[in-house]
Amino acid sequence: MSYRTRIGSCAPLLLAVMSVPACTGIMSSPSGPSGPGFQSSDPAGVSADPASEAVSSPLDLRDPAFAGEDSAGGGMPLRGLTRAEYNNTVAALLGDTSAIANTWSAETPGPNGFLAPRPVSNKEVSEYMDGAQDLADRFKAKLDDSVLGCSVSTAGEEVCAKSFITSFGRKAFRRPLVNEEVTDYVGLWKMARTTSELSFQDSMGLVVEAMLQSPSFLYHWELGPKAPSLDGDGDGKLVALSSYELAARLSYFLTQAPPDAKLAGAADSGAILDLAQLNAHADRLMESGKAKALFQDFIAQLLNVTDFSFSEDSTMRAMDQSRRAFVEQNVWSASGSPDDLFLSSEFFVNGQVAGIYGLTGVKGDELVKISMDQNQRFGLLTHADFLAKTGHGNDSLAPRRGRAVWQNLLCGAIPNGLPAVPPEIPRDPTQTMREHFEKKVAPLVCARACHATLDPAGFAFENYGGPVWRDTDPTSGKPINSAATLKLPFGDLLTYKGPRDFVEGLAGSEELKQCLTRQMFRLAIGRSEAKGDLSGIKAVYDKYTSEALDIKALAVAVVSAKAFTHRRLNEGEVAQ
């Protein structure tokens, strides 16, 4: 995978802002929206395969050319469990709800632009070791026949140990253990129990500790130590996921957790390989509410605010809770449409968040549902977390905000510019931040293309100094101007008078619908889309638009795509 594809992007040009946090940092993590809009040049993780060629923006899914046979356009890059997935997995496996991974290394953008665990280095291995040790300690403390699922006094230690290793391993690895693995773990137990004379509990704890450090537990790869099998109907590079892989993919996509008992049963029997069964399980998980995790994560990543939930700062956590309540309300109790998500003025605030919104009547930590001023607060993009994250302290920052909207919600491409860093341009205090960009920065030859593209998507939020509404720029004393015209990725012009006007146009845009489709697809399959995926994505889009743009229907529709149930061989991978 090449990281060079973005060299020369416009990001460095924003250095010219000066007196504001300019340059590359404006648009990049951790403060900028470097979220799920990025693609590498080799998004599918394979090369020299026409189906795996990267697609370029803009891409209009209404194009009849995409209405061909569905296929899978890319491989399946190996991905570790995220912290949330790890926490949920050990909760399901051991009943441990301590969220032990919360303090571990934060995720970084993965091959699909969505966050993925860092490449494993010494620190991550230490975290896995520490975590496994602590979890095993707690496991040992409550180990009895009911946990073992076996009566030691009746069946004997070794029989119970082997039985536990087999059943625990099935859950931990999301697949049955291969014989070699059973031999290793039973051997470890025997060595600990006999040669080292550890107690039965300590010996079992050692086995659990080892399993929790296994890559089969830590990575999404339920194939085990086997080579993949080719799909007989494919082109020689197409692999059908095994029932265990498919069950795990579905479960982690929808719930960020391992398969439940029903799904595990369908994996064991192979029933999950039937598309109707797969869809039935997707519907079941959706209806049970277990899929709430998906939408919270999906939306937080689109807004680049995932870090708020891990923050130790109470105000950030309050903002996070406020947005989560809003998402839950509008995905589950409302229709889940863009209109609900981007335009509803029913907010959930506690005392801390209320202060940011200038509300005086709400006190305490409890979230309260409030009808906000419809011209100032509506939808996700006027929530405090997004505005704080993409603003500049107590000021606005049109390029950063514009980039978040343009790239993450419209799937727009970023024009390339010169990579050189221009000289500093101090901000004139008689100018608003917008005027600074319009008059001092954007006219620079080196910055023109980027700012012309991005800034109009950010000027709509000039009324928000950080997360706080304002009518006047406190630096220059001038009234705020939040009117502009944005050229959308498909070429239409969106002319707006203010933030509400802009977001209404955004929510109704074709680009948003298509972008949400593509982003959901990327999240589901763990990579960016490739040419071979486009027919499947189009089918997902058609289903989504036929179901009143309900984001829940979008998620279920993705499951039916061939790229969800199949993959191509990764480079260097050899099939059986």
Partner 1 sequence: MKIPAKYDRRLFLKQLGLGAALLPMLETEWAKADAGAPMRFMSFVVTNGMPVNNFFPTGAGTSFTMAGTCSLLEPVRSKVTFVQGLQFRTLIDVPFSTAGHHDFGGILTGMPVLEYSDPRSVCIAGGPSIDQHIVAELRKKNPNEGRPLLVQYLPGRTPQTSWTGARAPQTSESDLYRLYDTLFMQSGSSGGTAVGQEKLGKLRAARRSMLDVVGGDIARFARNLGRDDQERVNNHLTSFREIEKTFGAVVVDGGSYTPPRLTQTFSSTDVKDMPKYMDALVKLVTAAFASNVTRALNFTFGDSLGDSLSYPHLGFPRNPGISIYDGGSGVDHGEAHNNTKTHFEARKWLLGEFAKLVSSLDSVKVDANGKSILDNSVLYLTPHMATGGSHDVGRGIDMPTLYAGSLGGYLSTGRYVKLSGGRQAHNRLFHSFFKGMNIDAAGFDNMRYGGELLECKA
Token duo for residue 343: 């335009």
Q: Which of 175, 400, 436, 531 binds partner 1 (CB under 8 A)?
A: 400
Q: Which of 63, 137, 366, 492 binds partner 1 (CB under 8 A)?
A: 137
Identity of the residue, 20 or 291, whose beta carbon is nearer to partner 1 in the bound complex: 20
293 binds partner 1 (CB under 8 A): no
The alpha carbon of residue 499 and the mean position of all alpha carbons in its chain are separated, in whole angstroms, by 26
| Size of residue set near partner 1 by CB under 8 A | 115
Shortest separation between residue 399's beta carbon and partner 1, angstroms: 11
DSSP state of 248: H
- Match 């130590």 to its residue by tokens: 225
Q: Collapsing DSSP states into helix, strand and coil, what is residue 485?
A: strand
Segment near partner 1 (CB under 8 A); pick from 50-58, 91-99, 218-226, 324-332:
218-226
Contact indicator for 563, 74 with CB cutoff of 8 Å? yes
98 binds partner 1 (CB under 8 A): no
Q: Which of 3, 48, 65, 233 binds partner 1 (CB under 8 A)?
A: 3
107 binds partner 1 (CB under 8 A): yes
236 binds partner 1 (CB under 8 A): no
463 binds partner 1 (CB under 8 A): no
222 binds partner 1 (CB under 8 A): no
431 binds partner 1 (CB under 8 A): no
Q: Which of residues 142-181 bind partner 1 (CB under 8 A)?
A: 180-181
Q: Which of residues 47-76 bind partner 1 (CB under 8 A)?
A: 75
Residue 257 backbone dihedrals phi, psi, to 5 degrees: -145, 165
Q: Which of residues 341-360 bind partner 1 (CB under 8 A)?
A: 355-356
- Match 């970084």 to its residue by tokens: 108
Distances 241 to 273, 274, 311 between C-alpha atoms, Å = 8, 12, 37
HSE-CB at 542 with a 13 A cutoff on CA atoms is 13
Shortest separation between residue 112's beta carbon and partner 1, angstroms: 12
Identity of the residue, 229 or 546, whose beta carbon is nearer to partner 1 in the bound complex: 229
221 binds partner 1 (CB under 8 A): yes
- Match 């709400």 to its residue by tokens: 362
Q: How far apart are CA 573 and CA 566, in angstroms?
A: 15
269 binds partner 1 (CB under 8 A): no
32 binds partner 1 (CB under 8 A): yes
CB atoms within 10 A of CB 350: 20
Binding mask 196-215 for partner 1 (x = CB under 8 A): xxx---xx--xx-xx--xxx
420 binds partner 1 (CB under 8 A): yes
Identity of the residue, 436 or 538, whose beta carbon is nearer to partner 1 in the bound complex: 436
Q: How far apart are CA 218 and CA 135, in angstroms?
A: 14
569 binds partner 1 (CB under 8 A): yes
Residue 302 backbone dihedrals phi, psi, to 5 degrees: -60, -35
258 binds partner 1 (CB under 8 A): no
Q: Which of 56, 122, 153, 360 binds partner 1 (CB under 8 A)?
A: 122
The alpha carbon of residue 256 and the mean position of all alpha carbons in its chain are separated, in whole angstroms, by 10
Distances 6 to 40, 220, 409, 415, 418 between C-alpha atoms, Å = 8, 28, 19, 10, 11
Segment near partner 1 (CB under 8 A); pick from 100-108, 337-345, 428-436, 507-515:
100-108
Token duo for residue 347: 């907010």
Residues constituting the chain = 576
